[in-house]
Structure 1
Amino acid sequence: MLRIIIVISALLTLLSGCATTPTTTLDTSPNFKPAQAAQAHPLEMYLHSGRLLRSGDMDEAAFWFYAGQLRYRVHLMARPNLPPDQDLALFSSLNSTLGQEVNEYIGGNPSEWEQVIENVLSWDDQTPNDFTPKDKFPSAHREVRAGLLELKEMIHKNHQEIREDRASAGLENR
């Protein structure tokens, strides 16, 4: 958990070079509210997930992690020429740190994991994406959503194997 806090603090220091749109700097808000998600840079959802994780709200943290990941992947796919040392590097760092803790938790119950993904896909369907508009980048949206749906199907087909792998790695099954 301390590693997450250190990484998020360091990332906030580095954010001046990241884009909220392809041309402006990122100004993250510690007061991000889910109602702001339609307009927010996907990083805001990751940071919100980290705050929820630190407060112990693991299920909500998992939801916002996957919502942020979906929206961030769409952003990166829609804008392949972004500098690799900014949004792409930040995305990778967040997935390797925050993602590890969220996935260690949510993977403990494959049925819940599937439900989180289903909820994120439903939320994304119903929530506008002003940051990377669905009508302007339809193929990026379709492709990223299809990838998340594939993950959900893989989890569904492999509940027992997931549980066995976790047990052999010393991870909790809930």
Structure 2
Amino acid sequence: MEETVGLAAPVVARLAEEWADHEQIQYLGSGPSRGSAGYGAAKVLEAAGIAARDQDVEEFVHLEYFTADTSVPVVLTAPGGGAEWSRAEELVPLLRSLGRPAATVSDRPLTGVHVPYSTGVRELWQPLVHIVPLALLADELMRLRGERPGRGGRANWADSADGSTTRSSRITIPSAHI
């Protein structure tokens, strides 16, 4: 993970500069990388307040591919040689033809900006490495936009100060489920 910080941080800093004014970002992944896409979307929403959604690569070509707003950036997480690699390769010309800004979190360049991570990790465990560049991107976008995590617990989000909307939540299990 430390190696990935060194590899990804400079690339992510440049990418965040390019994307800081966007109000939406879409995260794509398949297989184990599908969870990485969800994590990336959650972090950028929580940290920078950017509307983000995640989607499976296959579903993207049936759904968001057809969105009228082709300016929405795409972060594609696709390990080279992984089961989803061939479908990710097919997606590249589609993104290019739409003019969608794109970045690939991968151990191989694929489309747009290549955000590298450490190699030699089995595909099943790569999401643990993916979180590094995805979290770095959210942090950089937060910094550039002058945001604070969780909207800083200010204004309409005052009830979330210090994580209180989750920390003090009570989980009750109805006796019928015991």
TM-score by length of 1: 0.27
Which has the higher relative contact order, 1 or 2, with Cα contacts under 8 A spaced 6 or more apart? 2
The structure that has the greater radius of gyration is: 2
Higher strand proportion? 2
Higher helix proportion? 1
